[in-house]
């Protein structure tokens, strides 16, 4: 197997384990597991989503703040236009 295929397989297996754990934690009260698991299964993804949106907003703001403004366009003068028309 190729190394990329091994990495892909590893990512797949880890993701599958996380999905199974998340579904079990989400339905924790119905499965007679501690109800705290259900709260974490709902709250943690919401927290991560909010943090991801805020970090992306901060990155956009930082980029806009540190990027220099574009150079102004020089207006075309009338003399240059007339000389170009003659040639």
DSSP per position, 18-72: HHHHHHHHHTTGGGTS-HHHHHHHHHHHHHHHHHHHHHHHHHHHHHHHHSPPPPP
Q: How confident is the model at residue 82 (pLDDT cuts 50, 70, 90)?
A: low
How many CA atoms within 13 Å lie on the side-chain side of 22?
10
pLDDT per residue as tens digits for the range 29-79: 888 888 888 888 889 999 999 999 999 999 999 999 999 888 888 877 766
Hey, CA dihedral for 57, 63, 66, 68, is it positive or negative? negative
């Amino acid at each position: 197997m190729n190394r990329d295929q091994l990495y892909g397989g590893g990512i797949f297996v880890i993701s599958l384990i996380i999905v199974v754990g998340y579904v079990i934690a989400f339905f924790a009260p119905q499965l007679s597991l501690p109800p705290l698991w259900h709260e974490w299964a709902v709250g943690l993804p919401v927290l991560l989503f909010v943090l991801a949106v805020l970090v992306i907003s901060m990155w956009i703001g930082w980029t806009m703040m540190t990027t220099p403004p574009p150079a102004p366009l020089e207006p075309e003068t009338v003399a240059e236009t007339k000389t170009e028309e003659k040639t």
